Amino acid sequence: MDNGTIIRTQDLTKVYPMGRTSIRALNRVSLSFEKGEFVALVGPSGSGKTTLLNIIGSLDAPTEGSAEVMGLKVETLSHRGAAALRSLHIGFIFQTFNLLPVYTAYENVEFPLLLMKMSAADRKKAVLDALEWVGLADRAKSRPGQLSGGQSQRVAIARAVVKRPGIVLADEPTANLDAENSHMILDTMESLNKNLGTTFIFATHDEKVIRHVRRKITLVDGAVAADEKTAGVAKEKKAPATRSGDASGRAT
């Protein structure tokens, strides 16, 4: 893998058997992603966006072809190896937030760190920093049921970035949010992308998201139909949506 390239797919194909027939969700997709990219995968439903994210996230394996993530070939990883890759290098953000319901915001953000070898003091600092980045330090003790949709998604973002992963995969992160919250979320992610150098890859239909990204990959019927650089609107907007610290966690 070249310097700076953290994901590379080569002729990636995924076929789902459906009874006697099968569905080709991905068809010979070859892409590469550099460190620090802010990318959107767009395309109609069933075009293979989520499947591509799942394979990059080592939640699924390709039928053919290769997916290399952080130097590891996903198709060769054992369950344990895939879990380790996700634990160390990949953060996930979901459309429905997927916060653990019985945990507080703090505990949700802490969860990925519990799976890593980290001291309690370092863990606490990292969690508080992450909550600070997303502007929810004051809601640390709230449970998901006590948070709005926007706040829940911000907790999910904090959870995804708290371990400082190389890659964050976001599947329709704004689909359940109103415009105001969507913008806030996107601003937050964009500032984290800039300040932490984390690569963000979105699967989305949302024009608001597409306007923010700097690269847009269009998938149609499982194949790459277009791969283009975009200007993004980040330059026009103020950076981090945080309250008292920048996205690197330093006090301002």
Partner 1 sequence: MTLFKLAIRNMLGAGTKTWLNALVLSFSFVAIIWAQSLFKGMDEEASRSLTDIEYGGGQYWVEGYDPLDPFTIQDAHRPVEGVLRDLVDAGRAAPILVVQGTIFPQGRMFSVLLKGIDPGQRILTLPTLCLEPSGGEIPALIGTRAARMFGLAEGDTVTVRWRDVGGTFDAVDVVVAGGFSSTAQSADSGQVWLPLEELRRMTGAAGQATLVVMEKGFSPSTAGSGSLSGWAYKDLDFLLRDIREFIQMKTVGTSIFYVLLMSLAMLAVFNTQVLSIWRRRREIGTMIAMGLTRGRVIALFTLEGSMLSFLAMLVGAVYGIPLLAYFAAHGWVLPSDQADSFGLALGNTLYPIYSAGIIVGTALLVFLITTVVSFLPTRRIAKLRPTEAIKGKLS
**203 contacts 41 by C-beta, under 8 angstroms:** yes
Amino acid at 133: W
Dist CA 187 CA 240 (whole Å): 6
Q: Of 14 and 183, which has the nearer Cβ to partner 1?
A: 14
* CA distance to 25, 117, 140, 208, 246, per residue, from 193 (Å): 29, 25, 23, 17, 12
Q: Of 77 and 136, which has the nearer Cβ to partner 1?
A: 77
Which position among 1, 23, 83, 225 is part of the footprint of partner 1 (CB under 8 A)? Answer: 83
Q: Of 84 and 220, which has the nearer Cβ to partner 1?
A: 84
Closest separation in Å from C-beta 166 to partner 1: 14
Answer yes or no whether residue 111 interacts with partner 1 by CB under 8 A. Answer: yes
Which position among 2, 19, 20, 114 is part of the footprint of partner 1 (CB under 8 A)? Answer: 114
Dist CA 242 CA 49 (whole Å): 30
Answer yes or no whether residue 202 interacts with partner 1 by CB under 8 A. Answer: no
| DSSP secondary structure string for all residues of 173-241 | TTTTS-HHHHHHHHHHHHHHHHHH--EEEEE---HHHHHH-SEEEEEETTEEEEEEE---SGGGS-S--
Closest separation in Å from C-beta 211 to partner 1: 26
Describe the strand order of the beta sheet including 64-69 as a list of residue ranges.
21-34, 5-18, 64-69, 72-73
Q: Which of residues 34-53 bind partner 1 (CB under 8 A)?
A: 50
Q: Of 61 and 223, which has the nearer Cβ to partner 1?
A: 61
Size of the site for partner 1 (CB under 8 A): 26
Which position among 48, 57, 62, 135 is part of the footprint of partner 1 (CB under 8 A)? Answer: 57
Answer yes or no whether residue 101 interacts with partner 1 by CB under 8 A. Answer: yes
Closest separation in Å from C-beta 176 to partner 1: 13
Answer yes or no whether residue 179 interacts with partner 1 by CB under 8 A. Answer: no
Which position among 5, 32, 87, 195 is part of the footprint of partner 1 (CB under 8 A)? Answer: 87
b/e map 40-59, b = 16+ CB within 10 Å: bbbbeeebbbbbbbbbbbbb
Dist CA 25 CA 154 (whole Å): 30
Q: Which positions touch partner 1 (CB under 8 A)?
A: 50, 54, 57, 59-60, 79-80, 83-84, 86-88, 92, 94, 96, 98, 100-103, 107, 111-112, 114-115, 159
